[in-house]
Copies of this chain bind each other. A is one copy, B any other.
Amino acid sequence: MKKSLLISLAITTATGVYAQEALSSSAPVASPVINPDNSVTLTLKAPAGHDIKVLGTCIDGYRADMTISADSSRWSYTTSPLQPGVYYYTFTMDGVNVLDPSNIHILQDVATLNSYFIIRGDGKDIGSLCSVNDVPHGTLSHAWYRSDFHGADRRMSIYTPPGYEYSDRRYPVLYLLHGMGGDENAWVELGRAAQILDNLIAAGDAEPMIVVMPNGNISEDAAPGEGTKGLTQPVFNLPQCMDGGFETSFPEIMNYMDRNYRTIASREGRAVAGLSMGGFHAMNISREYPESFDYVGLFSAAMLNHATADSPVYRDAGSKLARQMELQPSLYWIAIGTDDFLYKDNTAYRHQLDSAGYPYVYHETDGGHVWKNWRDYLAIFAAQLFKNGEKH
């Protein structure tokens, strides 16, 4: 394992200079290669006589056969020209998943790992927004807050905007919640939240803000591998994810932030948003604590019928929603793709809002229940937050 390092560090003692060798025998080909037309060539060094495929969001139809080179040493596939964005892929060799050995960049999505790359456009496209650009960068922290409710220290990710360390000012806070099977790393890694915020703030398209990404799976204290359970694999814990415990204990997170960070600790300085299960949490949290949040974002939100869930949080939803709307939140934003399996439920929820005369902003897109949409939604939602002078 250390062979590559050993080779490269090997001193040619006669001259006192390190010999510089190939990094690793495991990366003999360049992959991925982004071509001038934004098509991407993926290559795997593998012998002939196999069934080798590539699967991924960069592939038309999600799956394709790879083609062996004339010298039978490597397999390749070139995508169609791609729009700016973040793309995942993995190879399979006779049915076995093979991450691209030439690409160290891996994203975990629930229990699967994928290689990934980013296609950038030339401006404010989502690929550029998801990239690390030459702009001031915020700080990303992983901190642990005490939850007396859950009897545990729990891990969360916190983005503070560029300049936070140097200034005395207070900042508004966006609480940004993940979906089922996700954790406090999901918006950081898959969601590129720090890069999106850095770039929006640098362009003047979003207010400088703190972004808090807690772990909404209350059966765990942290993401798999980051908590006291050790190097576990991801699990769904539906009853514990949506039993009201996370919503009920949410003030512990706000209190931690307001005590330890220079937050604007009042309604006009707080937003809560989430995707899928996190959208469900955001809907309930904002409804349960309407005096705490002036901005709400529901991204492909789950909209459960909670007749069976026994939590005070889910009771009297109608009157709580009425109270929340009475306070006239500056933004109640609902976004979903037309192919999302939760589209119908979101439509029903909007009809409920419509018939009660409650205002909201609706953003409908193409696509399904995918991170491609959630990154877009974050960029669009964050740009609308904490604008001075609107409704205040």
Who on chain B is nearest to A306 by CB? B16
Contact B96 A46, beta carbon cutoff 8 Å: yes
Task: Select the residue from A1, A116, A230, A369 with max chain B CB neighbours within 10 A.
Answer: A1
Instruction: Report A36-85 residues with CB < 8 Å from chain B CB.
Output: 44-47, 50, 55-57, 62
Q: Which residues does chain B contribute within 8 Å of A16, judged by CB atoms?
A: 304-308
Given known contacts A98-B98, A132-B228, A103 and B5 CB-to-CB distance under 8 angstroms = no
- The dominant DSSP class at the A interface is loop
| Of the residues B94, B132, B166, B180, contact of A226 by C-beta under 8 Å | B132
The contact string, 1 if C-beta is below 8 Å from chain B, for chain A 102-130, is 11111011111110111010000000000
Contact A23 B181, beta carbon cutoff 8 Å: yes
Q: 5 tightest A-B contacts by CB?
A: A16-B305, A141-B141, A24-B111, A165-B260, A139-B143
Contact B238 A1, beta carbon cutoff 8 Å: no
Given known contacts A93-B96, A97-B98, A228-B134, A238 and B18 CB-to-CB distance under 8 angstroms = yes
| Of the residues B56, B133, B140, B342, contact of A228 by C-beta under 8 Å | B133
Nearest CB on B from A202, distance (A): 12
| Of the residues B17, B23, B88, contact of A234 by C-beta under 8 Å | B23
Cβ-based interface call for A4 (8 A):
yes
Cβ-based interface call for A341 (8 A):
yes
Nearest CB on B from A124, distance (A): 17
Give Cα A104 to B233, complex, Å: 7
Cβ-based interface call for A142 (8 A):
yes
Instruction: Report A276-323 residues with CB < 8 Å from chain B CB.
Output: 276-277, 302, 304-308
Contact B341 A9, beta carbon cutoff 8 Å: yes
Q: Which residues does chain B contribute within 8 Å of A99, judged by CB atoms?
A: 99, 113
Cβ-based interface call for A243 (8 A):
no
Contact B20 A105, beta carbon cutoff 8 Å: no
